[in-house]
Amino acid sequence: MSRWLWWVRRDLRLEDNAALSAAAGSGEVIPVYIHSDTETGGLHAPSATGSASDWWLHHSLASLDNQLRSQGSRLVIRRGEYPTALTQLLRETKADGVRWNRIVEPAQVGIDQIVSATLQESGFAAHSSEGALLHEPTIHLTKANTGYKVFTPFWKALRRQDPPDEPLPAPAITSPATWPSSEALASLNLLPTSSWTDGLQEQWTPGEEGAHTRLQRFTDSVTAYDDKRDLPDVEGTSSISPHLHFGEISARQAWWWGLRAAGSKAEPWLRQLAWREFAHHVLWHHPTMIDTPLRPEFERFAWEPNPRLLRRWQVGRTGYPIVDAGMRQLWETGWMHNRVRMIVASFLVKDLLQPWQGGAAWFWDTLVDADLANNTMGWQWTAGCGVDAAPFFRIFNPVTQGRRFDPAGGYVRRWVPEVSGLADRWVHEPWNAPAVERAEAGISDTYPAPIVDHKQARQRALSAYQQIKSTCPS
């Protein structure tokens, strides 16, 4: 009988796990998670996960270990560089090789190549599978044989394809008679020393079971998704993004669950899942996009980096309630509603003229669903410099966006209690409320005046855009 290491990466689940099923189908399985502190390569290097993601990862690894132990297996944790740690473990356990699921991020693709080469040179088998997406990122190509840059044709191509493979069941796992040593999970120091994660604890249950529960909770809402998905005050979306990011549920499972729960009525939600697929497809074809604008003229954009403005935005003290509500929801829960992500991102890059990379870095550190492909695409899209982007000149007005998508002000009242006493009419523009109403609501001393005047900021942003447009018409 052969023996395999299942190298656990961002596939923290037992169901629909191609690498695990292949390993379990052909022999004994030793699940191993390698924690690398030495891999470098900038903000998005594999070891540079954000603080909220680290919190999630800790709990998700603990949950996976529990699941494995209920089947007589366990998660072996090792520290070190991936090729060295895996080769060492292969020698210790006399295993035949390693199986893992791929991740399309540039740093991870590089690691895959090094690991495969090192293992093969040492005489071990190395097999990787697609485990994060609906399809391989290379199968949808334009007539010119290039990757797609616009979502709608990508979506049509995806729908023309055969549907994604049906999810695999969790396999029965055969364990070795003896186990190699393991580091303690706590020794990875993934949990923060301060108590800022209390809000995350209340909101989320990392792990495969938590992912299934979250999806089940969304079952009744999936048919109403199109009507409610833009309203941050209601639970109109699934909130499965962190579970998908950590692979506690696969994209294929989500896809088939949506279809089975609602048939053709699930189409708007499936389309949204396809945005995730699109983001990974684009990242695969344009790996430099993580810090370089896809539209090159934006490299000359006259951003005005200002740490004070960035900080006011981060802590939710811009004076625009819908922006501040989003930033506070993010800090408290590690998540933000998609509509509000677009509003706060637009405000940072257009009203405050701060480089989108600064916003992406803050999201990276604070989101529990921080995902290189989705985050980069979201920021480049909002800044107007990405593929299929919202044009730069389309600048969200935070007051009208607030009125349209949070008409009764429930969302801003929840996250910005300073304005909660104001009438609906003023709740999105407290500075315009009559003095007597402001005094009655008690906001005068506690809530800041708007950090910029939106009308002026808009003009400033449009002039900056005009400059790059005139120097490079494209």
Ligand X SMILES: Cc1cc2nc3c(=O)[nH]c(=O)nc-3n(C[C@H](O)[C@H](O)[C@H](O)COP(=O)(O)OP(=O)(O)OC[C@H]3O[C@@H](n4cnc5c(N)ncnc54)[C@H](O)[C@@H]3O)c2cc1C
In the bound state, the residue with its beta carbon closest to ligand X is 378
Work out whether 22 is an interface residue with ligand X (CB under 6 A): no
Measured distance CA(145)–CA(135) in Å, rounded: 17
User: Whose Cβ is closer to ligand X: residue 269's or residue 465's?
Assistant: 269
Rounded CA gap, 285 and 308, in Å? 36
Stretch that binds ligand X, among 172-180, 234-242, 260-268, 399-407 (CB under 6 A): 234-242
Query: Of 82 and 255, which CB lies nearer to ligand X in the complex structure?
Result: 255
16, 112, 130, 371: which one binds ligand X (CB under 6 A): 371
Nearer to ligand X (CB atom), residue 134 or residue 422: 134
Segment contacting ligand X (CB under 6 A): 176-184, 369-377, 417-425, 440-448?
369-377
Query: Whole-number minimum distance, CB 357 to ligand X, in Å?
Result: 12
DSSP H stretches of helix in 70-105: 82-93
Q: Is 233 in the site for ligand X (CB under 6 A)?
A: no
- Cα(302)–Cα(289) distance, rounded to whole angstroms? 19
Closest contact distance (angstroms) between CB of 95 and ligand X is: 34
* Cβ-based nearer residue to ligand X, 391 or 473: 391
With contacts defined by CB under 6 A, name the span among 99-107, 113-121, 186-194, 274-282 that binds ligand X: 274-282
Rounded least distance, CB 258 to ligand X, Å: 9
Q: State yes or no: residue 273 binds ligand X (CB under 6 A).
A: yes
Q: Smallest distance from the beta carbon of 323 to ligand X, in angstroms? A: 13
DSSP string, 188-247: G--S-SSSTTHHHHHH---SHHHHHHHHHHTGGGGGGHHHHTT-TTS--S---HHHHHTT
Taking phi over 0 as left and psi of -120 to 50 as alpha, with beta for the rest, 231 belongs to beta
51 near ligand X (CB under 6 A): no
Q: Which stretch binds ligand X (CB under 6 A): 193-201, 269-277, 322-330, 411-419?
A: 269-277
Q: How far is the CB of 380 from ligand X (least distance, A)?
A: 9
- Sign of dihedral through CA atoms 45, 51, 52, 55? positive
Considering the complex, state which of residue 97 and residue 334 has its C-beta at the smaller distance from ligand X. 334
Compute the least distance from the CB of residue 22 to ligand X, in Å.
25
The number of residues making up the chain comes to 474
User: Minimal distance in Å, beta carbon 23 to ligand X?
Assistant: 27
CA angle 261, 207, 257 (to 5 degrees): 10
Number of residues in contact with ligand X, rule: CB under 6 A?
27
Applying CB under 6 A, does 241 fall inside the site for ligand X?
yes
397 contributes a contact to ligand X by CB under 6 A: no
Say how far apart CA 268 and CA 261 lie, in whole Å: 13
Query: Nearest to residue 139, comparing CAs of 290, 245, 289, 277?
Result: 277
Kind plus residue range of the DSSP H or E element containing 467: helix 454-471
Q: Which CA distances in Å does 301 have to 135, 224, 283, 356? A: 36, 40, 22, 11
Check binding of 28 to ligand X (CB under 6 A).
no
Binding of ligand X by 229 (CB under 6 A): yes
Q: How many angstroms separate the first and last alpha carbons of the chain?
A: 61
Nearer to ligand X, 75 or 367 (CB): 367
Contact set for ligand X, span 308-367 (CB under 6 A): 338, 341-342, 345, 363, 367
Q: Alpha-carbon distance 209 to 13, whole Å?
A: 9
Q: Is 153 exposed, middle or buried (0-12, 13-18, 19+ CB in 10 A)?
A: middle
Q: Is 154 in the site for ligand X (CB under 6 A)?
A: no
Among 240, 283, 352, 385, binds ligand X (CB under 6 A): 240
Residue 190 to residue 55: CA distance in whole angstroms: 6
What residues make contact with ligand X under the rule CB under 6 A? 229, 237-241, 244-245, 272-273, 275-276, 279, 338, 341-342, 345, 363, 367, 369-371, 374-375, 378-379, 382
